[in-house]
Homo-oligomer: A and B are copies of this chain.
């Protein structure tokens, strides 16, 4: 796709990423920092932005997506409703001109009237999925603190489910009795797979299975440096078992995430006998380009 050049801003809860993008979608410069929206005090979003990209051309339109459009972000944008296509997101863009003269265009997130929990929400993942829609995948997984499983049909997002997998891992690892027996170690694929398989075998028993991180550690059935991998397998296995339930077994999955975490998900999906591939790490930029182009901004 050919468009005008722009600045892509992917500003989430814990990280800031900005890219200069030329008219053919190539990244010509980029900056990233640990200054997610939770690290920005007193609403100083513009100052934070300029501290990172102050030298970049102020005439370039800036396209933003992610938690930056949430209540804790810069400009709160009302959720768009599922099903939603590129045109819906384009129409829902909120524009703002900064004191330094930059035009910032905010892409809002989605609300899904879910059967299971009534209200489900996301911000940022919709843009990643639109940027990945031409790949032939039918279901997208964005692993992380709160993983999302997003389904598409007819070039639109039809629904999604959130899983608190990453946050749960961090809680049990750092704040529970399970962490006490653990020693740091690199990812252990065998222990991870054992956790995944145990979760698949008893998908309704997570609160029970979690205790096995302690009991198998106590009896040294899993070594202290492997227990974190086993815990990760239990949680990711539980998520995969739940989220893939009811899907066509031949469905095509794509994982959109950082390489290490995506690899864990691809392993778990493989153990479930599902077809999955890794997506493009820069799909958010492509999604922003599509939506902003549809809106006539670039």
Chain A residues proximal to chain B, CB less than 8 Å:
116-121, 146, 161-165, 167-168, 171-172, 175-177, 198, 201-212, 215-216, 218-219, 221, 235, 238-239, 241-243, 245
17 extra interface residue pairs, beta carbon distance < 8 Å, beyond A116-B208, A165-B207, A206-B238: A116-B209, A117-B211, A118-B215, A119-B212, A120-B211, A146-B211, A162-B211, A164-B207, A164-B208, A164-B211, A171-B175, A203-B203, A204-B238, A204-B241, A205-B242, A207-B235, A208-B243
Which B residues are CB-close (under 8 A) to A219? 118-119
Residue of A176, A204, A235 with most partner-chain B CB within 10 A: A204
Which B residues are CB-close (under 8 A) to A216? 117-119
A221 touches B171 (CB 8 A): no
| Known contacts A198-B117, A215-B119, A215-B121, A208 near B176 by CB under 8 Å | no
Among B204, B209, B210, B212, the residue within 8 A (CB) of A245 is: B204
A207 touches B177 (CB 8 A): no
Which B residues are CB-close (under 8 A) to A210? 164, 168
A121 touches B218 (CB 8 A): yes
